[in-house]
Structure 1
Amino acid sequence: MAFTVSSNSFKDGDYLKMTHVVSADAGFGCAGDNVSPHLAWSGAPAGTKSFAVTCYDPDAPTGSGFWHWLVVNIPPDVTELALGAGSKGGALPKGALQTRTDYGFAGYGGPCPPEGDHPHRYLFTVYAVNEVLGVKEDTPAAQIGFNLNFKTLAKASIMGLYKR
């Protein structure tokens, strides 16, 4: 069985709704609701000790993309994150940890590409990980990515688009 990810919030390749766009208080000029989308996964390989979820914009004009969401240490018996789980006041599974995004805070930070730029791709990726990561809330996204590159058994992605 293949490892797959899906969402009730959007289909692969769809434009993300304003519900998922970052809110005005982030200071980037967008005025969405900043609600993390629903994600569900199945087909995790044997040996999975935890899951991680990331949202990454490879089209951001930074030279290194932009990390919008990082959740690690999701227990291996969990197969979905509810709508809003990564948002302020959301309910993540016990043991899961959100780490620092490129917005500078831990937790979901939705899309907000530069006005007039081409549509950006937002890659929501679920990783089946072979251990529980020894990281903290303020661990930088690049360090999370480094760990995931060496400790992932399988991964699956779904892509949303956004343009303003």
Structure 2
Amino acid sequence: MQLTSTSLGNGAAIAREFAAGDADGFAPDRNPQLAWSGVPEGTRSFALICVDPDVPTVADTVGRTDMTIPRDQPRCDFVHWVMADIAADVRELAAGSCSDGFVAKGKTAPAGPAGSRQGLNDFTGWFAGNPDMAGAYLGYDGPYPPFNDERVHRYFFRVFALDVATLELPTPFNAGDVHRAMQGHVLAEASLHGTYTLNPSL
């Protein structure tokens, strides 16, 4: 199975249009176009996950003007998008079809292919302590890495072909729930990644 995009080149920089933040604040936050082919026989649905594996693990180093986040600081995953139960006949998500703007406190009913379900991304936890921003962040919210990070962040888009039409998931669900539910049901997967940084020196 192959995953391609007219919005981003594999390994190339992600355009501001598809990011949640830029040097001035919030960015357009449109989901990139994604298309997949070479789907195996027996596919009954797809799942999609987008993860940044380069997120700093020391929270009090983020966003400070008096220091940079060291490149070698331990990193963790940050989920930007999780969607399940994408119908077996879907082969493309158009740019901006699932997200077209950042919504404070999260999108309550993000768009998506008929029958699909959007999960919580990790902005839900990131903004949990901020009364102006706290909420359930469903669907796609794009890159917004710390401006003081010495590392360029990578964003991996992964599409999984599954042999079940629906996954057994709680409401709401997150990427961990999807990974557990699709164990033993993955027929194929495809991925691509882009990069993004707000550090002017990189």
Say whether the fold is shared (TM-score over 0.5). yes
* Aligned mate of 1:107, from 113, 123, 139: 139
CA-to-aligned-CA distance 1:29-63 (integer Å, 9 cap, x gap): 84211100000000111111101111100111245
Distance 1:30 1:124 in 2: 24
- Structure 2: which amino acid aligns with 1:128? A
* SS of the residue 1:159 aligns to: strand
Q: Confirm or deny that 1:128 pairs with 2:168.
A: no
Q: Confirm or deny that 1:92 pairs with 2:123.
A: no
Distance 2:40 2:191 in 1: 16
- 8 Å CA contact 1:100–1:137 kept in 2: the answer is no
Distance 1:86 1:23 in 2: 17
Give TM-score scaled by structure 1 length.
0.88
- Aligned 1:10-29 pairs, distance under 5 A: 10-23=8-21
Distance 2:36 2:155 in 1: 17
Q: Confirm or deny that 1:141 pairs with 2:175.
A: yes
User: What is the percentage of aligned positions where both structures have the same residue?
Assistant: 37
Distance 1:81 1:36 in 2: 9
Distance 2:25 2:186 in 1: 34
- Give structure 2 stretches of 5+ with no counterpart: 58-74, 101-108, 125-136
CA shift at 1:84, angstroms? Answer: 1.2
- Structure 2: which amino acid aligns with 1:34? D
- Answer with 1 or 2: which has the greater Rg: 2
CA gap 1:137/1:101 in 2 versus in 1, 3 angstroms? farther
Runs of 4+ off more than 6 Å? none
Distance 2:76 2:172 in 1: 19
- Structure 2: which amino acid aligns with 1:66? F
Provide the residue aligned with 2:80 in structure 1. 68
Provide the residue aligned with 1:35 in structure 2. 30
CA-to-aligned-CA distance 1:58-106 (integer Å, 9 cap, x gap): 1112454100001110100110111112215864211111111111211
Q: Confirm or deny that 1:154 pairs with 2:193.
A: no
* SS of the residue 1:127 aligns to: strand
CA gap 1:128/1:38 in 2 versus in 1, 3 angstroms? same
Distance 2:110 2:120 in 1: 16
- Computed over aligned residues only, the root mean square deviation of the Cα atoms, in angstroms, reads 1.9
